[in-house]
Structure formats: C-alpha cells, structure tokens
Structure 1
Amino acid sequence: MSIITQTRDLHSSQVPNHGEEAMRRLQQAVLCSASVWALAAPAHAEAVAGSSGAAEMETASETTTIVVTARRREEDVQDVPVVVNSVTSDEIAKLNLQNFTEVQTLVPGLQLQVNDNGIGSNAQIRGVAFDINASTQPTVEFYLNDAVANSTLVLQQMYDVAQVDVLRGPQGTLRGRASPSGSITVTTRKPDLYEVGGNLSTSASDIGSLNFNGAVGVPIIEGVLGIRAAGTWSETEGNRVRTINTGLDGRDPFTRSKGGRLTALFEPADWLRFEGMYQRTDTQSRSYSQYASFSLFDSTAAESSLVIKPKDRLSIQETPRTYHQKFDLFNWRAEARFADQVLIYQGAHTKGDIVAQTNSDLANAFEGFDYFQTTHSRTNETTHEVRLQNDSRLFDMFDYVIGYFNWTRHAPTELTLETPVVLPLPPAYGGGVVFVQPTDVLTSGDVKENSVFGNVIAHIGDKVQLSGGLRYINFKSPAGTLTIGSTVLPGAAKVDDNKWIYTASAQYFITPEVMVYASTGSSYRPGPTIVGNFSPIQSDLQRSFTYLDSESSKSYELGLKSTFLDNRLRVNITGYHQTFTNYPYKLTAGVYTQTFTYVASTGSFAAGVGQSAQFAANVPVEVNGVEAEIGFKVTPHFDLGMTASYTKGKIKNGLVPCDDLNGDGVPDNLTSAPTLAEVQAAYGSNYMGACRVSQRSSAQAPFSTTVQASYNVPISDKVDFFTRGLLTFQGKSQGDPTLSFDSIGSYGLLNMFAGIRDPRGAWELNLFAKNLLDTSKATLINAPAVSGYQELQPPTYRTTSGASTTSTYAIINSTPPREFGVNFRYAFGSR
C-alpha cells in the first residue's frame, strides 16, 4: 500500500540506581512546568492579540487536513481504514532530523537501526523483529518514490525529503511487496515546472557534528520540463565511543556521508508524465563497540579492573571497525491518462557495494594484536511495476487498482575470517599467537518474485465503504552454496512458493467526523537461510536452525477515527490481533556451540567452542496491541500532539536454540563460556542445545509514546519567535527472556528547540538541545564478550583444540549523548 501525504496549512535494567528515580522526577517536573508555561503563554498572546485572535482561530479551524493516497486516490487520512503516521518536510526541518533513523523518535513502536558494520539494517514495528542476517524479506518494507527500496540505502542522511509515511498492518494488495507489519514510504521533492526555487540548511553541534544540505530546482521549459538537484555532506563522531587503549589504532570514531540526487520531470502533454531520478550515496565510518563492566548488570559477576559505565562511552578494543558503503540508485516512472483511467509504470535499479572490517578479538584477549572479519557485500536489485487504476469513480461507486510486479536481486557476499593459533606457553618460551589461519567464505543470494495484485473499493451511499484485495505471489530462490575455504556446504535453501494473500475492510461513518472500521489481512514471507554459522561441520539440529520454512500471518484490526472542534482536535485509536505461523525468530543473544576450524598446517578440522546469535527457529507467534493518536490545535499559536503504542508479541511453545548444558530443557543463564568438554558432554553430535519456550518475540519495549508541543508568536510583521519540544518515552523492555541481566528500565529523551523565523518560511534560525536532560541508559546489554581461538596441544604441538577468553566487560548500546547545536535554513522561490 502506498501513501503520499500533503499537509494543507491554510493559516500560513541496570543495577538499581537511586539517581534514576530522581532523574525521572526531574523529567516529570520539567514537563509539568513546560506544559503550564505552554498553556499560559498562548493565553497571554491571545490577550495581547485582542479581537484579531477570534478571526485567527476561525481560520485555524480549517487547518491540519492531511490528504493521503493510501488507497491510490486522494482522501482525508481520517477517512482511510489504515493507521498512518506521517512526518512532513516541515517537521523534519523544525525538529532538525538529519539521519533517517531519527524518524523513530516521532513514531512510537517503530525501531530503526543500521548494523554496526554498515551491512544491512532493520526496521521493526508491532511486536516482531527483523534481522538482516536472517536473509529473509523484512517485516516492514521501504519505498523510495513509489519503488521498493533497500532499507540500508534509505536509512542514511535525509535531505530534500518531502514526506515520510509509516503505514501499520499487512501491506501488499495495492503495490510493491507483501509485508506483515507495515511499510515506510519516502517521497523526495520534485521539480517545479513554473518557478525557480531551492533551499539551504546547515547545522553544527558541540559534539562535532556538521551537516550541510541543499537543493535547487529550475524549469527548463516552462510547464513542460524541469530539473532539481540536491546534495548533502555530513560528518559526525559516530557513536562517540573511544577506546581505553592506545594500542594499535587509538584514533577517534567518525561517520562521514556525502550524497547527491538529480531529478527530472517531463510533461509533454496533459495526459502524459515522465519522472527520472539518480541518487548517489557514499558513507565511510570508523567506530568502536561500546562496553560496560558486566558486574553493573549482574552482581554475581567478577568485577573488572576498570569500572566502565554506559555514560563513559568507552571500549576495550584496540582496533576499531571500519566500513565504506556506496549506493547508486536509478528510479523512473511514466504515467499515461486516457478515458478516465491512468496507466503507471514504476521502475528502479539499485547497485550497492559495502566493504567492512570488524575486530573479532571482542574480549581483547591478545594485547597489541587483533584479528578480523572482512566482509565484501555487493547488491544488484531491480524492480518493475505496472498498475492500472481509475481516475474517476466507476458507476459513481467503485475504485480499483490492478497491477503486475517483478523483483530480482543478486547479492553475493565474500568474507575472510581470521582465527589465531596460539602456543600456550609463557612469552619467554615463544608462547602467544604463532600464526593466523584465514578462512574464506563465499555466499550467494539470488531471488526473483513475480506477482499480480488487485484491489476494489465499493462506496455504498455516504456512510459505508467496503474494500477487498488479493495478491498472487510466485517467489523463487535457487539453492545456494556456502564455500568455506575448500569446503562447499549447502547454502541458501531452494524456495519455489506460490501464495495468495488478501486484505479486506469495512468502514462506517457515524457522522462525517467520526468513522469506525474493521479490517483483516494476510501476509507471506519466504523461508530464510540464516547467514553466519561458518563451521564446516554442522549437525542436523544446527541446519534446522539455519534453513527455515516460509512464514504466513493473519491480522485483525478494529479502529476509530474522529475529529472535533471544527477539525482542531483529532482522536484516533486502533486495536489489533495478529498471528504468525513459522515466524523466523532470530536470536539476539549468542548461544554456545561446538564449532570446527580447518587448520591448513595439519590438514584437519579442529573442534572448539563458539558463541553465535546466527541461528533462528520457526515458531508460532501471537501479537496483540493498541495504538492511539491525539492532536490538538489549542490556539492558532499552540499545537499539542501525542501518539502512543502498546504491543505484546509472544512465542507460543516454540523450539528455539538455547544454552542447556544441564539438559533440563530450560535455557541456562550463562555468564562465561563453557569448555569444549562441557559442550561435547551436553550436546554430543547435535553440537548445540534447543529448548521449548513461551516468551516475548521481540526485545522491543511494549509501550512507547511521543509528545510534541510547539508555540509561536509574532515579534514583528517580519519575525516570529517559536519554541518546540519533543519527548520520546520508552517503557520497560525485557530483553532476552532467557537472560536475567539484560532487562532495560523505562526512560525518556527530551529534545528542545527555540529560535526565530520568517513568517512566510523563507528562513529560520534554530537553537536545539537533544537529550536535554543528559539521560544515559544502556538500551542493549549482551553477555560478557568472548574471544575464540585455537591452541596448539602438547606434547607434539601439531594438533589444536578450541579455546576462549571471557571478558569482565560486555558489549552494549546506549542512549545518544546530550547535544547542543544551531541550525540555519534558507529557502527561496518554489523551495
């Protein structure tokens, strides 16, 4: 399902910490004070404005209408039986959103993340997760200018974006690919055929962030041909994590991104329209994994020599990870109108190239020495879609869309894994790392989908609408291979599926301002192959957690959309229930397994112990949730809005990979690596454990909410003063239910903005503070870091055995640091 929205503005858990409780109280006090001030300030402004305030209020009653094409024709978003969260270009600018992942601060329940090595990304919503390493289609699809897009390409620096829209619930009978949880569409600005225009924005902050972006559009032939060029350059200190070691490479982290986009629009006749776009993105990054003392999260764990807390933003690694990421995107579109119908062809081609090097000595076992995993991933992806739909309603009753979709992807990946071989003797006797054994890994990734789809909406009088859609999917992926050194193993499993999915809805307008609806839908995702278990010898159980069956799901939803007070107050609420069969539950925390490494010097396979999260399982999942939205234009100068989401997804008695050394079928809570003998005794020829569980299906916090407030007042006829606030709140998160140390307590992040601007929007000077209260919270806590290697065994020292070192530190993620900065924007002409 696609959407392009337009806003019509006619008016112009860690260890208990007593400090956290105090911080929460301070946040509440600040918010209460801000609310009182925000409510009082408009009242004061109204008194100053005098009688003109009533006229402005009357005009304001006509604002905030949002027009969407969620069903392929323009409708008020309040009339559409779909939950939609829209982020306009105005909001992007006002809240100084620079990286696309910041959109999640405005959309409760949405989580966006790019992998630390720059390869792959994920988006999750409505209680189920997606991991790029699962090699399956995402639960949330991305679209850029109406074409299916690679999420890693989208989750970059934002510039010259007209609209971002998040649709919740099953998608796929109106366009693109099937997705069970929703879709995210991004629409860039188009050329103006009649007026020259453009914009420029620059930002700088106290934590080393610089951002420049701008665009200019020119009509080449008035009313017929126009072009628009846009570009961005950004440099930040990345995750701002620095190493405690001078070591081999103690340089500071950074992320540098540059990109450009050229768009052309050609309308040779009223009935014919062509669009074309080329976009180039180039990103380089150097960063360290963030660590914290594990004893902060588990009081029984050994204390580290140097206590590291989340707020310290430190790493024990000597060498950072690096990546260089390049994307080229071609996007094209043609529209032809005839006999009140419109024929649309939408195509896109993406070429990606990513090279990443990751430090594999996670526990810093070898002082002054590191070993690495080097990854080279290439992507070639092409989509074609043809749609036919009506321009005018058929028989004054029906709207329809029918179409054909084709998608192909070729994405081979090359890896080099380094394994140290160690002589277990004191350094004086030649002990230490003797040599490094490299292992080359090659994976293939070819997929192809052909599908046809259709949707019909019946308008029965003024109060009733019925809608139904179908999609037939033929998905093919040939059997792949996994080449590890000279050993060839089965890679991706062959998939050849033919599936039907559907959507249906019924809506009833109690009044023109109050609508209730019920909807249902199904979805499908092909069975994935989990990439990451590179042991050349694997058990049947390990393969069952690597090659998974295809997923199906069904969703049911009830909702109410309403507006009051002449459209100044909007209240929407939705409840939903969704079930998944063969949901690919991907581990978030690693489990210990028996692994094998080919040692060229001995010509044999050496057994060892490895820890990996690169396993998944087909499990049944049930999701229940509620989503709500309130928007209120309190006065012509004061806006207040809140959106909230509560989702609970649960695995129902699913068999999943686990640590189960005692064999009781219950996941163990291990804080250090077991020995090879312990793993062999517990698992035998299975090489790993499995347990039946009923637990959360996602580590995402069930409850989240965002609150926005904005206030503006004229200083003169040429300058307005404004202030804005954005509070993002995340509730408690359980983390991995098998672990006792990784639960995350609730926290809130407060961003504030203030400045002056031109009343007509030509320029704005904005001072901002992100994470104003300097909230520091670990948002992901892993088990203690482990470094695995091979040891030469006495007395001959010609054979090896697996060994490992467990750190007293754990790899974590944390909330972003506090940031103060300034942003200046200027726009002219058509902008």
Structure 2
Amino acid sequence: MRHVSAYSLMGVSLFALMAPAQAMAQEAAPQQAEATVEEDAGEPVIIVQARRRDEDVQDVPSVINAVTAAEIQNLNLRDFTEVKTLAPGLELNTNANGIGGNARMRGVNFDTNASGNNATVEFYYNDAPISAGVILQQMYDIGQIEVQRGPQGTLRGRASPSGSITITTRKPDLNEFGGFIDATANDIGTLNFKGGLNLPIIEGIAAIRVAGLWDENEADRVRPTTNAVDGRDPFSRTKSGRISALIEPTDWIRLEGSYQYMDRDLRSYDQVESFSVVNPAAPPTTDLLIRAKDRLAIQSDSRLVNQRFDIYNWRAEFSGFGQRLIYQGQHSEQKLHSVEPQDPAVVFPGRSVAQTTDSNAVGESHEIRLQNEERVFDIFDYVIGYFDNTLDSPTDLTRPTAVRLPLVFGGGLASVVQTPISRRGGSHEKSFFGNLTAHIGEATEVSGGLRQIKYKDSSQLIVGGRLLTDNSMDDDKLIYNASIKHNFSPDFLVYASTGSSWRPGLDIVGDFSVAQSALEQSFLHLPPESSKSYEIGFKSTLFDKRMRFNLTAYHQKFENFPYRVPGSGVYFVNTTPTATGPVQNVASFNFVGAVPVEVNGVEGELSYDVTDSWNVGLFASYSLGKIKNGTIPCNDLNNDGVPDPTGPAPTLAQLQAAVGADNLSACVVNQRASFLPPFSATLQSEYDMPISGKLDGFLRGLLSYNGKSQGDPTNDFDDVGDYALLNLFAGVRDPDGQWEVTLFAKNVFNTEKVLTRTTPLFTSYQQITGFTPTGATTTPATTTSSYTGITMTPPQEFGLNFRFAFGSR
C-alpha cells in the first residue's frame, strides 16, 4: 500500500501543477522568499541554523557554505553529489555496490564500509541525522543546504571531526496556495521532472506540501564491450515523493512532519583502461586497446542495484516564558538488493560470477532540547538536550568462488561455490549535551559546549554458518567545543575556536576469510578515534555590503584515524569454507589502519556585487593532511618495510612466502592522509539584463578548479594533474520569477581526466588439476588482466531546463 499511495502522491502533485486553467487563473505572485534569506539595507542576507538558532552567516564564528534553493535551481543541480561544486575541499560520492556513500573534507579521507560508525562528515535531514547513502541521491524541493566545517557535536546530533551537512526541505506555507514544475532534458539521455504543490488547509493554521521527482539517466555512461552477457547500456531511474504537514494552532505551538519515499534502479559497469596507456613498461595488451575517453568496461555482466528509502520525520516546538522546547524525531528504512560481478579479469567471458547482497537498515533518532528565545539576564544564550540514536542493519550476501575446468577441457567455468555471509546486530548511541554563549557588551561573544557520549555496538559477522567475529563494544567519551569572537565594527569580526571530537572504533566489513590472523584483525577492528582542532579567522563586509571577504586557518590532530588503503587494496591470503573443506586464494581488500594524522589548512571566500546586475563569488580551500609514522596494511613482497610499487597480483605461493601466518603485510609510513587535491576553488558569476518590461535575460557561469592530487603513494600511475570544469547557463525569465527557460552546458570543454586508478585487475579462482573417485582436486590460481579500473570526470552535457511557478512556490 505504501508504494501505491506514494506514487499517487507524486502523480497528484504533478498533475495539479500542470493544470493550465488553474495556473493561468492564479495571479502572478512574487517569488516566495526563502526562510533562510532576509534583507539588510537592501542587500540579501543568508540566514543559517548552524548554532541551532537563526543567524546571519557572517555572524557565525565558523566556516559555512550555504547553498540556497535559488542556487540549486539556477545551476541545475540534480544529484546531491553536485553540491561539491559549490564547496571547495568537499568530495561527495556513493559506493558502487549501493551500500552507503561518503563525504570527505578538510584533508582526511573516509571511505569505509563499516558497521555502526560515525562518519567524518555527518548528514542531517530536517535536523535529524541520516546516512550519506540516503542523501547522496537525486534531490528536489530543497530549502537550503548548509556545509559547516570543523568538529561538530556539542550542538547537533552526533560527533563528527571534519564537519556536517544539513539539508532542509521546503516547508508548507500556511497562507498561500501555489506550486511549481521543473523539467530538464539533455543530449546524453537524461530526463528529470520535479514539482511541488502547497495547499493551505486552514489559512494561517494548517497546510500541507506535496512534492515529487522522476529522473532517468545513463549513469556514468560506461558501456560494456562485446564480452558482456546482456550487452545493455547503463541505466539509472529514480522515483520519489514527499508529503509535509505544518500546524500552528497558536503562537506557542508548532507541529510539523513529513514522509518521503525514494526508489532507485541502477544498471552500471566498472570502467577500465589498458594499463599500457599509462605504463610504458607494461606488456602491450593483446586484447582490445581501451582508453579513458572510450568509457568502456570489460566485465561479463552488469552491476545491478535496487535501493528503496522510506523516511519519517517529525518535530514539535513549544514556546513560552522566553524559552523554547523542541522535540525532533526520525525513523528511516533503507532496503538494498545488489548483484556485483566478481570476475574483474574476465577469465570466464559470457558467464556470470556474481555476489548478491541484501540489506535492510533501520535507523531511528530522538532528540529533545531546551533553549532560550530571549537572552537570560540579557547576556546568555543556551541550549541543553538529550539525544538517542539506534541503527540496525542486518545484511545477507553470498560470496562466490569460481572453479575452472582444466585447459585441456577448454578452461571454462565448471561451477560457482557460494558462501553465505550474514551480519547481525546494531548500534545504540545516547548523549547529553549543552552549550552556553555569553554576550559581553555589544562586540564580544564567548561560547562553549560539552557532550557526554555513551555508545554500544552488538554486531556479529557469520560466515558459512560460523560466527567469525563478535564486535561487541561499550564505550563513552566527553567532547568539547569553545569559541570567542570580537566585532571590531558591525562589518568586521575576528574569531578563534577549538574543539574535540570522538568516534567509536570501526568494524570493517569486506574481509570474510575464516582464518584471519591477529595482524589482519587489527586492520578490521579499530580502536576509537579522537581529535583536537584549533581555528582562527575573520569575516568582513566591505564597500557598503557589496563585498564579503572571509579567511580561516586551522590545525587538527587525529589519533587512530581510520585510513583506508586506496585503489585495489592489499593482497592477502583468503580462506573460504566449501563443502569439501576450506580453500585458499589470493584476494585484495581495502584494509584500514588506525594512524596518527595532522592536518593544516586555509579556507577563504571573496564575493562582490560588481553592479546591481552582476555578481562574482570566489571560494577556495587548501588542506593538507599527513600520516605521521602510522602503521598501515601494505603490499610488501620483498619484506623491506616499504610499500611495493604497483604490479601484477602475486601467486598464492609468492604471497604466502612474503606474509607467512600474518596473511598480509604492514608498513610504517609518512604520507598524505587524503586522496583529494590539497587545493581547490570555485568561481561563480551571474549577470542579469532586462530585455523588456516583461522579460529578463541572464548569463551564469560556474568554474570548479581542482589542483594536483595523489592517490596511492605506491602507485605511480594514479596521480591526478590539475583540471577545471566549466558550466555555463543562459536564458530568459519572467521578472517576477513566475517562469524561466535555461539552456546549459556542463563540462563545456569536455575535460576527460582519470581521477582514480586501481592496480591491474585480477581474478582468483580454484583450478581443477585432476579427478579422483571422490571428486575433483583443485589448486588456487590467479589471472591478471592488462586493464586497470578507473573513474573519471563526468561527461559533457548540453541541456534545456524549464521552470514554471505560481503562488507560493
């Protein structure tokens, strides 16, 4: 029934928006002002909720990138990962297997399939914490996005060392009927439709808002070669609907709630490039020569992912006597089914060797807090509260082991032995928090906060019916945050802040060997991470509020930061249970080492309204994180303590000779802690021009620059040179904002840059060596291909966007 009602919801909202008679009868109204944008002396002021109360972004003593609804619309941002183009130093991506996503910021890299963990950057949906995988999808009807940098946790949700990203959906308007429809099409197979409808039920007291999305595209446009089983093109389809309700029966009660569903189907292929293209010493490929610009894959079958998300979000606010009591709750369900090819070297062309994964994650959070509306003794602002969060994510998968016929019989696929693997249990986090801000005179402010965290985890990993690991955890920690700021004038302030953060130890999922060594387990079950940060900066408004110039410098030190090995990971001796007994082979996995890291960085913003019709904004970030004498998993076949350079996969005998009973190697290193470029910047500009009394024209541009970056320090072929992506927009619109037509081009110069590169792809399997009366005898074998796995910049696209709105938008 939920499927039917949700689809009906989206259909009703879009149908109502397209009803021409009703739309034309509605008088053109000025565009609804965002709740987050106000006017100060005629100039727009962005209002944020970074400290749990409305403030001008220029008054908050921290770095915040606020992405407004207007920017999302004007720059045709459809997928949430595109938000990174407006926040230099931020990287957003999703895992290819559909499980989760990642945000990286401020010089550290976090890319771990782990259980019950806090992320480096936390996400919040309407003020409640939510996993990145739910958010990093197609987006629609968004009010504002706030990217806040630096340690978080004494004011909001969960502790996170690098920052937080809050997403606020549009709220119902209690007084005015209205809505919008937005449609985008481009030349590379994208069709995107979204719309919203605002319905006052009792004017001034109750209203609902419905919104919907339908998007179809060709994912990353990587297509298979003729070796593919199905030979079909990549494909992604997303359907989503949301209903929100708001009730304000009196001036001291505010009740709101929303339900959102999203369903996504994806068929994709893993892109490859011939290793000889970048490594002249590599043997020339005897197969098809593939370059990055070809956007091709060699795998035999496609990667299939289906995701279903259901989010229930609710909030109650009660105010009186100058105080406000707020309760925020959320319940979310994430269902995943994926099929992942497990034959990267295509040893068995035309045959399917795949892993299936089914997961059903259920999360729930509750937060109650009390804060002042009127300053206490005309000096103090405070927030105190309690937070409770649970996550249960049972997962079942089957890990295949391919058995190959002898070459004399053709060397084809004899059978696939599937090993069942299950994860059970979940996490529970509780915390008390408080923050106090003292306003000393008109110019000085001192603020400080604490959070006491209590964290439990009860997850278990079961392989082949056998309990492999019991990751029970019970830990607690007190974290803090403090800042001071001083306004030398209404247009110039300086601030300094310090803060700590803590995250529970991670349990890394992906190594399912039933004979793990102590060293191996040390890279799978990590101790808690802690960090301390120090920041100093200033914010200024110049030239009669036409210019903003902000600059911040920071230093952050981590203990036990979870550094995940990049690329194809580390070779290790894997033991798999089968019906005839355990078998061993060479496998690779991105193990994680708990290492000390130091980060130093600078972030700046310079924006200027050149004229009333022309504005320019420049945002830049430099952040360099380095591991300091940290022990990480590595490939070290010659046992010299230094990670080996990139090369083909070893045989089982070679690997066992190098690692012995440890199953893998470890090295002490001093190297970068992030794969991101240390320097990145964004340049944004818009020029408006009146064409007639009823028509305005505009030109917009967005240039995203990424400096040089390193991937795996042992891989000489995965470093990335600097590059820039330019997006341009031109169009016409109604002066009152009722409609707009935009022609756009993204990646105008068709920049094709390889961003990540693995070691040469390989497939491990069991080779039949003979037959006995009781069955076949096998030995471990590995075949390495002449290709490496890559990812690259998004494809060039040219498109058209149309938007029509009426009444309350």
User: What's 2:294 paired with?
Assistant: 312
| Structure 1 unmatched ranges of 5 or more | 11-60
User: What's 1:101 paired with?
Assistant: 81
> Out of 620, 641, 644, which is 1:644 matched to?
620
User: What's 2:530 paired with?
Assistant: 552
1:36-51 equivalences in 2 (<5 Å): none
Structure 1 residue 723, shift from structure 2 partner: 0.4
Structure 1 residue 795, shift from structure 2 partner: 7.0
1:483 partnered with 2:459: no
> Out of 466, 469, 472, which is 1:494 matched to?
472
Q: Distance in 2 between matches of 1:734 and 1:445?
A: 37
User: What's 2:550 paired with?
Assistant: 572
User: What's 1:767 paired with?
Assistant: 743
Structure 1 residue 672, shift from structure 2 partner: 0.5
Task: Rate the CA distance shift 1:705–1:212 in 2: closer, same or farther, 3 A.
Answer: same
What letter matches 1:65 in structure 2? V
1:517-571, Cα deviation, whole Å (9 max, x unpaired): 0000000000011100011111111011111000000000000100101110000
Q: Distance in 1 between matches of 2:370 and 2:392?
A: 29
1:629 partnered with 2:589: no
> Out of 162, 166, 169, which is 2:143 matched to?
162
1:655-701, Cα deviation, whole Å (9 max, x unpaired): 11000111100000132011111111111111110000011111111
> Out of 358, 371, 380, which is 2:362 matched to?
380
Q: Distance in 2 between matches of 1:247 and 1:744?
A: 30
What letter matches 2:799 in structure 1? G
1:151 partnered with 2:132: yes
Contact between 1:471 and 1:500, CA under 8 Å: does it hold in 2?
Answer: yes
Q: Distance in 2 between matches of 1:779 and 1:670?
A: 17
Q: Secondary structure of 1:684's match?
A: helix
Q: Distance in 2 between matches of 1:171 and 1:484?
A: 37
Contact between 1:5 and 1:165, CA under 8 Å: does it hold in 2?
Answer: no
> Out of 88, 97, 114, which is 1:117 matched to?
97
User: What's 2:4 paired with?
Assistant: none
What letter matches 2:520 in structure 1? Q
User: What's 1:15 paired with?
Assistant: none
Q: Distance in 1 between matches of 2:684 and 2:765?
A: 51
Structure 1 residue 708, shift from structure 2 partner: 0.4
User: What's 1:236 paired with?
Assistant: 217
1:262 partnered with 2:243: yes
Structure 1 residue 801, shift from structure 2 partner: 2.1
Structure 1 residue 588, shift from structure 2 partner: 1.5
Structure 1 residue 771, shift from structure 2 partner: 0.2
Q: Secondary structure of 1:543's match?
A: helix
Structure 1 residue 5, shift from structure 2 partner: 7.2
1:724 partnered with 2:704: no
User: What's 2:36 paired with?
Assistant: 6
What letter matches 1:650 in structure 2? K
Q: Distance in 2 between matches of 1:515 and 1:734?
A: 36
Contact between 1:630 and 1:641, CA under 8 Å: does it hold in 2?
Answer: yes
Contact between 1:297 and 1:742, CA under 8 Å: does it hold in 2?
Answer: no
> Out of 300, 310, 317, which is 1:328 matched to?
310
Task: Rate the CA distance shift 1:70–1:670 in 2: closer, same or farther, 3 A.
Answer: closer
1:531 partnered with 2:521: no
Q: Distance in 2 between matches of 1:142 and 1:86?
A: 14
User: What's 1:253 paired with?
Assistant: 234
1:363-401, Cα deviation, whole Å (9 max, x unpaired): 111122120011111111000000100001111110000
Percent sequence identity is: 53
Q: Distance in 2 between matches of 1:631 and 1:62?
A: 17
1:692 partnered with 2:692: no
Q: Secondary structure of 1:678's match?
A: helix
1:738-749 equivalences in 2 (<5 Å): 738-749=714-725
1:584-603 equivalences in 2 (<5 Å): 584-589=562-567, 590-600=569-579, 603=580
1:106-505 equivalences in 2 (<5 Å): 106-135=86-115, 136-304=117-285, 305-427=287-409, 431-478=411-458, 480-491=459-470, 493-505=471-483
Q: Distance in 1 between matches of 2:745 and 2:37?
A: 26
Contact between 2:112 and 2:564, CA under 8 Å: does it hold in 1?
Answer: no
Q: Distance in 2 between matches of 1:730 and 1:297?
A: 21
User: What's 1:513 paired with?
Assistant: 491
**More divergent stretch after superposition (207-216 vs 151-160):** 151-160
Structure 1 residue 87, shift from structure 2 partner: 0.6
Residue correspondences, number: 771
1:68-83 equivalences in 2 (<5 Å): 68-83=48-63
Contact between 2:213 and 2:239, CA under 8 Å: does it hold in 1?
Answer: yes
What letter matches 2:95 in structure 1? N
Structure 1 residue 246, shift from structure 2 partner: 5.0
1:703-739, Cα deviation, whole Å (9 max, x unpaired): 1100001101000111000000000011111111122
1:670 partnered with 2:700: no
Structure 1 residue 488, shift from structure 2 partner: 2.1
Structure 1 residue 794, shift from structure 2 partner: 3.9
User: What's 1:26 paired with?
Assistant: none
1:75-120, Cα deviation, whole Å (9 max, x unpaired): 2211110100011000000001011111011110111101112111
> Out of 565, 568, 592, which is 1:616 matched to?
592
TM-score of the superposition, structure 2-length normalised? 0.94
What letter matches 1:94 in structure 2? N
Q: Distance in 1 between matches of 2:54 and 2:303?
A: 47
Q: Distance in 2 between matches of 1:587 and 1:182?
A: 22
TM-score of the superposition, structure 1-length normalised? 0.91
1:484-516, Cα deviation, whole Å (9 max, x unpaired): 11332114x222111000000011111111100
What letter matches 1:393 in structure 2? R
Q: Distance in 1 between matches of 2:676 and 2:425?
A: 29
Q: Secondary structure of 1:92's match?
A: helix
Q: Secondary structure of 2:84's match?
A: helix
Contact between 2:227 and 2:350, CA under 8 Å: does it hold in 1?
Answer: no
Structure 1 residue 740, shift from structure 2 partner: 1.4
Contact between 2:461 and 2:467, CA under 8 Å: does it hold in 1?
Answer: yes
User: What's 1:801 paired with?
Assistant: 779
> Out of 568, 584, 599, which is 1:607 matched to?
584
1:597-652, Cα deviation, whole Å (9 max, x unpaired): 2231xx22112111221x11111000110000011000000000010000000110
Contact between 1:245 and 1:317, CA under 8 Å: does it hold in 2?
Answer: no
| Structure 2 unmatched ranges of 5 or more | 1-33
Q: Distance in 2 between matches of 1:455 and 1:330?
A: 28
Q: Distance in 1 between matches of 2:558 and 2:605?
A: 26
Q: Distance in 2 between matches of 1:194 and 1:178?
A: 38
Q: Distance in 2 between matches of 1:524 and 1:486?
A: 34
User: What's 1:17 paired with?
Assistant: none
Q: Secondary structure of 1:599's match?
A: coil
1:31-50, Cα deviation, whole Å (9 max, x unpaired): xxxxxxxxxxxxxxxxxxxx
Contact between 2:100 and 2:134, CA under 8 Å: does it hold in 1?
Answer: no
**More divergent stretch after superposition (96-105 vs 362-371):** 362-371
Q: Distance in 2 between matches of 1:529 and 1:731?
A: 33
Q: Distance in 2 between matches of 1:297 and 1:477?
A: 45
User: What's 1:679 paired with?
Assistant: 655
RMSD: 1.3
Contact between 1:453 and 1:469, CA under 8 Å: does it hold in 2?
Answer: yes
Q: Distance in 1 between matches of 2:404 and 2:534?
A: 57
